[in-house]
């Protein structure tokens, strides 16, 4: 078994990003800033906030957390859209009232939508980008391979399918309408799963020597688990993400990559010699 660990790659990317942020601050006088809009109290969300804030501090990107009532979200986002010192905006999901999700995420200006959740997003979503970085980092060439994507969710599956198809990759998606899930998954040279259904993919569903990326996240008995059943990890012929430290570390890297891109676009659009952070 060969493990696809995202942690080592994340360290390399983090170092590169820190250099890019220093250059933005020194050469362009742009201080990249990410605003996170939070409307719900939850321990898991608090963990995400700490991870993002810590990562931002490490590479000198300011992270502001706006804890508000959902009724204030549209006005708060409008204010952040208009603030030239804010380069990226995230709406932390889930919302207290999920029925308003599309309206709220679509209100984020496309050039600041670093989570790429809005209908007019111009950046690549973080988790799909992280998956592609992970595969590229371990020299997994998708050309000529059959890629099976398990799940077509809004956050991972659907955007990753678009990104793969746009790059000419042969991809087939397993979703709730698939008649024979096992047969389709068995046909995959590369299997990427992101459903949030623990144990969905079992060892007998994976062909010999396949590459397997588990991007599923779910809670089970107080633990965070993925889509792969435990028996998958008993096989020694697979190239596979570990139970922890696979796609996750790279997802935060990918998010901040978009913040840096947004800040750089802001710097490029500013008049020569102007301080882009001034009000």
Q: Using alpha carbons only, give the angle 269, 274, 279 rounded to the nearest 5 degrees.
A: 90
Amino acid 275: pLDDT? 47
Amino acid 1: pLDDT? 86
Q: Can you read off the two tokens belonging to residue 204?
A: 């007998």
CB–CB of 92/121 below 8 Å? no
Range(s) of the domain holding residue 89: 21-110+252-269
Q: Same structural domain for residues 157 and 203?
A: yes
- 101 within domain boundaries: yes
- 186 within domain boundaries: yes
Amino acid 54: pLDDT? 96
Q: Same structural domain for residues 143 and 74?
A: no
Amino acid 122: pLDDT? 96
Q: Can you read off the two tokens belonging to residue 90?
A: 């995230």
Classify the C-alpha dihedral 209-213-219-223 as positive or negative: positive
pLDDT digits (tens, 9 = 90+) for 147-206: 999 999 988 999 999 999 999 999 999 999 999 999 999 999 999 999 989 999 999 999
Closest to 194 (Cα-Cα) out of 159, 229, 149, 140: 149
Output the pTM of the full model. Answer: 0.89
pLDDT digits (tens, 9 = 90+) for 96-150: 899 999 999 999 999 999 999 999 999 999 999 999 999 999 999 999 999 999 9
Above 70 in pLDDT, residue 278? no
Q: Same structural domain for residues 160 and 197?
A: yes
- The CATH number covering residue 60 comes to 3.40.50.10860
């Amino acid at each position: 078994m060969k493990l696809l660990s995202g942690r080592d790659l994340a360290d390399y990317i983090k170092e590169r990003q820190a250099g890019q942020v220093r250059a933005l601050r020194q050469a362009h006088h742009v201080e990249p800033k990410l605003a996170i809009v939070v409307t719900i109290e939850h321990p898991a969300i608090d963990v995400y906030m700490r991870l993002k804030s810590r990562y931002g501090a490490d590479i000198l990107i300011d992270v502001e957390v706006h804890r508000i009532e959902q009724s204030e979200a549209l006005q708060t986002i409008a204010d952040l859209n208009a603030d030239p010192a804010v380069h990226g905006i995230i709406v932390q999901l889930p919302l207290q009232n999920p029925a308003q999700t599309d309206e709220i995420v679509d209100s984020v200006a496309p050039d600041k939508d670093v989570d790429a959740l809005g209908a007019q997003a111009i950046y690549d979503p973080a988790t799909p980008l992280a998956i592609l970085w992970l595969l590229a980092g371990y020299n997994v060439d998708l050309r000529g391979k059959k890629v099976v994507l398990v799940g077509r969710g809004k956050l991972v599956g659907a955007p990753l399918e678009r990104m793969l198809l746009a790059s000419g990759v042969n991809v087939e998606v397993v979703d709730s309408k698939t008649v024979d899930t096992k047969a389709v998954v068995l046909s995959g040279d590369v299997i990427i799963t992101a459903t949030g259904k623990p144990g969905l993919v079992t060892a007998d569903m994976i062909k010999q020597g396949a590459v397997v990326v588990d991007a599923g996240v779910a809670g089970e008995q107080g633990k965070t688990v993925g889509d792969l059943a435990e028996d998958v990890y008993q096989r020694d012929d697979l190239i596979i993400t570990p139970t922890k430290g696979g796609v996750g570390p790279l997802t935060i890297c990918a998010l901040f990559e978009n913040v840096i891109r947004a800040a750089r676009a802001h710097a490029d659009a500013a008049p020569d010699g102007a301080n882009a952070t001034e009000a």
